[in-house]
Structure 1
Amino acid sequence: MRVALLAESFLPHMNGVTGSVLHVLRHLAAQGHETLVIAPRSGELTGDLHGARTELLRSVPLPSYPEVRVVFARAARLAAILDRFAPDVVHLASPFVLGWQGVAAADSLRVPAVAVYQTDVAAYAEKYGVPGAAPLAARHIARLHRRATLTLAPSTASLRQLGDLGVDRLRRWGRGVDTAQFSPERRSDAWRARVAPGETVIGYVGRLAPEKQVEDLAALAGLPGTRLVIVGDGPSRPLLERALPHAVFTGHLRGAELGEALASFDVFVHPGETETFGQTIQEALASGVPVVATGVGGPVDLVRSSVDGWLYRPGDLEELRARVADLAGDAGKRRAFAEAAHASVRDRSWDAVCRRLVEHYDEARMLRPIDDALRQRAATRPSAPVRELRARPRWTRYVALGDSLTEGLCDTSRMPHGQHRGWADRLAQLLAHEGTGAEPFRYANLAVRSRRVRDLTAEQLPRAVALRPDLVSILIGANDLVGRRVNVALLARELEAAVRTVRATGADVLLVTPFLPRRRAAALFARPFAAFASEVRRIAESTGALLLDLEALPRIGDLDLWADDKVHLRSRGHRFLAYRAAEVLGVPDAEALGGLDEALHADDDPVMTGTWLRRDALPWVWRRLRGRTAGDGVAAKHSGYVVIRGRGDVRAPVAP
């Protein structure tokens, strides 16, 4: 693979962005990939670039922070550079100025762009007191990341932040840690004797800039037997040296010196409230040092309060002092926290993290042609499920609406003869399993084969509202879209009215876009399916419904998920759909559970007899000629609520 990396910041200026890019270059080189780095020119390059080509562009220093350089390059110039390299994917490292032109250049070449969100520029603008800059920066970030093929964010907080800005295609991708450089074995008694003899060392590592809020560490002044050590440099250093007169300032350290200093701390403190991740926090944990950090942003994912450190309320400097004093004054607790800290990062090597990055590259390469085809049809692009964006409500009344797919046709896994299971049944079991048990989980499935949008609004919707659910799933439209004359706008209006009716009751709605198998004959219906899926996205956005956008998950079209009748999902297809829906609804570990379910039940699909023409096609044609459907006379399998225990077994029907 050929990867072009556009970095807003690069050597010789070392920061989180530069460090991540260097680790990515090393991993890609080890795996045989070719790389090109496009970045600001700001001095002599130092460090191993692992065989990467470079295209360094003229830059100017940021007035308030001269170590940061800004490149003003036209998209056409970047496109020419990229065209010569012919990348398979463009990696945008913390994009803002150069990254905006980079995503435009990638678009012009129809190359997928993966944007890696690392810097909360809007928060930085606010910290630096630039009038009106924060909202402008936020809008720019939203536009840029919505334009990228895929956006990678390092923490649940940054996922939520970008989601609130309307950014789609979000995936969580954290940072690795060098467990050789950062290890408890690096702890040095000689370093401690030289820097803080006989004292408990409270340390900070990072840039010395306003957004890091290092001045908050003045709250630690006077803690008995302690010494504050500040590792790093930046524009705020002169002010901090005056504000923290008893602290030791080491300046910028790197490599073995940094590893030695960090491991020699007794407590690591990070007061910044704008961290999208917190790499130095992770490095402290790897060094076996307990951490005290603000309970906001990236640190929330890294620090397990009362296990390997403490999180304190943002801005509460009294609590900051109390948490540090708790650890500084208790050597036994520090040892216990230190062991847990080191254990927490054992599986976060850069190699593992970068392998995951290559998987994201592959996903972006798969999504880009889909995006281009949809743009040609003036349809909106699909967006795959976003994990960990929201805290999941405790739903206790779930009603499924739709047609044969939601009824569960062709999913006979572990079911008596003549009965079907289906993705909605499986989803109900997952939701019941995650319940608290205080209130029983009730489930109704009103879906019936061959039903259309008008049937859903006329028959299923009134019955659903009468059941007073708190969650309703809707997957409908396929039977309308395979007709000869399809009015997509009319179908969308009917569906939107149904969704608004349910939302008016206070219930949540999970909308699912229609989908097709990857068969040649299915291409006849691709255009109306794509147009209706685009309308479903619009409806979800305008009504606040949750969305399972299957156009962003091409796996749903793979023929091994489809039954022998070529129009329904087999058991493994229903499993796939159920667990993707569970991800959207925030069910913990849905992806892992889905893989386990697949492994346990990989061979439970029945073997069909007879030819497809006689078994499936001719009966369908005969019904059409007679004006009938397969759903005539068929009743919903759960027209009222049934109670599902956490293990998934169904009890007797109950009243609503």
Structure 2
Amino acid sequence: MRVALLAESFLPHMNGVTGSVLHVLRHLASEGHQTLVIAPRSGEITADLHGARTELLRSVPLPSYPDVRIVFARAARLAAILREFRPDVVHLASPFVLGWQGVAAADALRVPSVAVYQTDVVAYAEKYGMPQAGALVGRHIARLHRRATLTLAPSTASLRQLEDLGVDRLRHWGRGVDTERFTPARRSEDWRRKTAHGDKIIGYVGRLAPEKQVEDLAAVADLAGSRLVVVGEGPARLALERALPGAVFTGHLTGAALAEALASFDVFVHPGESETFGQTIQEALASGVPVVAPGIGGPLDLVRSSVDGWLYRPGDLRDLRARVADLVGDEGKRRAFATAAHASVQDRTWDAVCGRLVEHYTEARVLRPIDDALLLRGATRPAVPATRGQESRSWSRYVALGDSLTEGLCDSSRMAPGQYRGWADRLAQLLAHTRTDARPFRYANLAVRSRRVQHVIREQLPLALSLRPDLVSVMIGANDLVGPRVDPIALAVELETGIRMLRDAGADVLLLTPFLPHRRASMIFARRFAAFASELRRVAADTGAILLDLEALPAIGALELWGDDKVHLRSRGHRFLAYRAADALGVPDAEALGSLDAALHADDDPVVTGSWLSRDALPWAWRRLRGRTAGDGRAAKHSDYVFIGGRGDVRAHMSS
């Protein structure tokens, strides 16, 4: 197997992410797999990479933590690197910035991606004084991991956190521990004498950074007969030395020196409350040292309270002090906990853990073709229940909301001059034809050209609610997104209020993401459309709406589906969209019916005369100069229900 590993951080900076990547490289090499590492360049690498190729990219240091480097690589650059390597799977180690571009590159090459969640970035943002960024970071993490083929999380707490963010395809994958390096045999009485002068040692190992809450160790720094020893480096060291004046700071230790220090502790304390796992906790247990940690996050899976350590109430420093004092003052209990701690990790070798990782790679390779097939059909993967599963529903009152696309502009197939059909009209007929009961099928189309999200919320939504529909389609936002200034996230939040009102009224909602044609001029808006679509995915998941993710459906941008005015779908485009919507709603054999319809009406688009400049562009510019739109003074196509019979006949029918 050929595995490309993208790591947000890498050597020479050693942390949990780097350590895991090195163990994975060693195991994959021993099993005969070929590897490539794509990571930030930040210094000379002297460690053994076990035959891995490297692509180290230009990076910049994080201002508040220079050891952490950020790579701003374009997805196209990463795709070129991956294309040359030809990976079978892309491993994303704690993805965030580089990982986002990496998952996009993997998608472009249709290569399965396995995202390994290792860092609670939301909690880190809050610890670094940016609480307002927490929600944004959470949404970014959710989007990234939902896009990956498979996500691996190290603990039950992190699995639950990702589930709450709406991430699917989750698997548990813990971390291994080097039981040959971390062992009670490394305990050194000489090291203990030199470091603590005969006192009991309360020790900590890890980064000295705000998210680790090392300052909480002040609660135990003055326990009688003990000495606090802090192993590690980081941006908070100077502040911690001032806060903990009696503690011994050893600096960063690695290899045998780290193993010796860890095994020589009497009690290991890790006060951080945002740990997704806690690798140093596991290494302390392997070293035969009882652990005291907060009862939250990763420690819940590692520390068996009252067996090999204590879990204290998060944020309760008096409880922390009492738990540590209990072990420092009771040698018999400390010895019993130490024996249990060492025994608890003997089956967690890196070879066993990495063997399970390869099994996850294999699963991702099976899942990726399934995802690709679903995307071609305009549906998202079946693990998201809000997207599909409507096969048993039968609707009788359908209302369409939106702008010119839903009104049907440019779909003049078999219509009188000046009249249009459109994908929503076509969908209504499909739904009417597939009904199995005797209830009449009613359809209203409230869409008006040039409308924006605010118009849907203020004008179309109240009328829709008065019609008491059981199905509503909503496709809106394109006119907002091509404006001079727009906030896609705020726009989605505004639309979400309307979706919730419809859902609270008992209606099913088909939510469609806006899309662009594959024209170079359209690309200036691509980032806005992608951001808006990403938010609509969240809205669909949060509200239970049925999502037709057209932004993830490349075929909709094909120019042969677009009209001569270059901004609306032609008839074949409306047919294509109607059948994708029918498929998302569970209409039987919608895809096959769509292919047949396309074949029967391949030449159904009327010929349009005149130049694009005089026919379309100049009238649009003139309206804009006068502050007007093409929809001014227009009423909805069907502001009340029309009755659609079983053979496709359409007759007006009052909703009352």
Identify whether the pair has TM-score above 0.5, normalized to the shorter chain: yes
How far apart, CA to CA, are the structure 2 residues paired with 1:489 and 1:49? 66
**CA shift at 1:145, angstroms?**
0.5
User: Residue 207 in 1 paired to residue 194 in 2?
Assistant: no
Q: Which residue of 2 aligns with 1:96?
A: 96
Unaligned runs of 5+ in 2: 386-390, 395-432, 439-468, 473-503, 505-537, 546-656
CA distance in 2, matches of 1:538, 1:56: 37
**2:213 is aligned with what amino acid?**
Q
Runs of 4+ in 1 over 3 A off after TM superposition: 452-455, 485-490, 493-496, 537-544
Deviations 1:210-232 (CA, angstroms, capped at 9, x unpaired): 00000000011321100000000
Asked if the contact 1:57–1:71 (Cα under 8 Å) also holds between the matched residues in 2, the reply is: yes
Structure 1 CA distance for aligned equivalents of residues 152 and 24 of structure 2: 14
1:302 aligns with 302
SS of equivalent to 1:108: helix
Spell out, residue by residue over 1:299-351, the C-alpha distance to the aligned partner (whole angstroms, 9 max, x if none): 00000000000000111000000000000000000010001101110110000
8 Å Cα contact 2:176-2:353 kept in structure 1: yes
Counting only pairs closer than 5 Å after superposition, residues 615-630 of structure 1 correspond to structure 2 as none
CA contact (8 A) 1:291 1:309 kept: yes
Residue type of the alignment partner of 1:205 = V
Taking a change above 3 Å as real, the CA distance of residues 252 and 108 of structure 1, as seen in their structure-2 partners, is: same
SS of match in other structure, 1:233: coil
Report % sequence identity: 79
**Residue 136 (structure 1) shift:** 1.1
* 1:271 pairs with 2:271: yes
Task: Find the counterpart in structure 1 of residue 80 from structure 2.
Answer: 80
In structure 2, the residue matched to 1:377 is: 377
Paired with 1:488 and 1:350, the residues of 2 have a C-alpha distance of 58
TM-score by length of 1: 0.60
Cα 1:129–1:488 shift into 2, 3 Å: farther
| 1:134 positional shift | 1.2
Answering whether residue 34 of structure 2 is matched by residue 44 of structure 1, we say: no
- 1:633 match: none
Q: C-alpha offsets along residues 519-555 of structure 1, whole Å, 9 cap, x if unaligned?
A: xxxxxxxxxxxxxxxxxx99997569xxxxxxxxxxx
Aligned residue for 2:32, secondary structure, equals coil
Deviation string 1:269-326 (CA, Å, 9 cap, x unpaired) is 0000010000000000000000000000000000000000000011100000000000
**In 2, distance between residues paired with 1:46 and 1:206?**
22
In 2: Cα distance, 1:37 partner to 1:488 partner: 57
Number of the residue aligned with 2:251: 251
| Mapped pair 1:242 → 2:242 | yes
Q: Cα distance, 1:71 vs. partner?
A: 0.3
1:223-258 C-alpha deviation (Å, 9 max, x unpaired): 110000000011111111111111111100000000
Cross-structure match for 2:106: 106
Distance 1:49 1:66 in 2: 24
Q: Distance in 2 between matches of 1:71 and 1:323?
A: 42
How far does the alpha carbon of each residue in 1:401-432 deviate from its partner, in whole angstroms, 9 at most, with x for none?
A: xxxxxxxxxxxxxxxxxxxxxxxxxxxxxxxx
- Between the aligned partners of 2:14 and 2:436, the Cα distance in structure 1 is 53
With over 3 angstroms needed to count, the CA separation of the structure-2 counterparts of 1:101 and 1:224, relative to structure 1, is: same
Structure-2-length-normalised TM-score: 0.60
- CA offsets, 1:566-597, max 9 Å, x none? xxxxxxxxxxxxxxxxxxxxxxxxxxxxxxxx
| Conservation of the 8 A alpha-carbon contact between 1:207 and 1:234 | yes
Q: Corresponding residue for 1:534? A: none
Measured after TM superposition, the shift of residue 46 of structure 1 is 2.3
- Give the conservation status (yes or no) of the 8 Å contact 1:6–1:99: yes
Output the amino acid matched with 1:279: Q
Work out whether residues 113 and 364 of structure 1, in 8 Å CA contact, stay in contact via their aligned partners in 2: yes
Q: Per-residue CA shift, 1:6-54, capped at 9, x if unaligned?
A: 0000000000000000000000000000000000000001211000000
Distance (whole Å) between structure 1 residues aligned to residue 434 and residue 78 of structure 2: 44
CA distance in 2, matches of 1:69, 1:256: 27
Answer yes or no: is the 8 Å Cα contact 1:126–1:134 preserved in 2: yes
Name the residue aligned to 1:351.
351
Shift in CA distance, 487/213, structure 1 to aligned 2, threshold 3 Å: farther
The 5-angstrom pairing of residues 292-331 of structure 1 reads 292-331=292-331
Q: How does 1:524-535 map to 2 (within 5 A)?
A: none
Q: Are the equivalent residues in 1 in contact too, given 2:149–2:364 (CA < 8 A)?
A: yes
The equivalent of 1:196 in structure 2 is 196
Structure with bigger gyration radius: 2
* Mapping of residues 369-518 of structure 1, within 5 Å: 369-383=369-383
2:140 maps to 140
Question: 1:494: Cα distance to partner?
Answer: 10
Tell me, what secondary structure is at the counterpart of 1:340?
helix
SS of residue in 2 equivalent to 1:69: strand
CA shift at 1:382, angstroms?
A: 2.3
Q: Give the distance between the partners of 2:205 and 2:76, measured in 1 at CA.
A: 40
Give the distance between the partners of 2:260 and 2:346, measured in 1 at CA.
Answer: 19
RMSD: 3.0
CA contact (8 A) 1:226 1:328 kept: yes
**What is the rounded CA distance, in whole Å, between the counterparts of 1:302 and 1:51 in structure 2?**
33
| Number of residue pairs the alignment of both structures matches | 415
Tell me how far 1:63 sits from its aligned partner. 0.4
Structure 1: runs of 5 or more not aligned: 386-451, 456-484, 497-503, 505-536, 545-656
Matched residue, 1:217:
217
Alignment pair present for 1:30 and 2:7:
no
Q: CA deviation at 1:383?
A: 2.3
Q: Distance in 1 between matches of 2:210 and 2:434?
A: 58
Q: Distance in 2 between matches of 1:101 and 1:374?
A: 22
Q: How many angstroms does 1:379 deviate by?
A: 1.6
Residue 18 of structure 2 aligns to a residue in which SS?
helix
1:155 aligns with 2:155: yes
SS at match of 2:194: helix
Mapped partners of 1:169, 1:96: distance in 2? 18
The more displaced of 226-235 and 127-136 is 127-136
Per-residue Cα deviation, 1:460-499 (whole angstroms, up to 9, x for no partner)? xxxxxxxxxxxxxxxxxxxxxxxxx866999xx9999xxx
* Letter paired with 1:325: A
Q: 1:318 to 1:150 in 2, by over 3 A?
A: same
> 1:66 matched to which residue of 2?
66
Residue type at the aligned position of 1:235: P
Q: Is the 8 A contact 2:187 2:263 kept in 1?
A: yes
- Asked whether the 8 Å contact 2:166–2:541 carries over to 1, the reply is no
CA displacement at 1:198 relative to structure 2: 1.4
Structure 1 segment 532-551 matched on structure 2, within 5 A: none
* AA in 2 matched with 1:173: W
Code of the aligned partner of 1:255: G
Query: Per-residue deviation at 1:130?
Result: 2.1
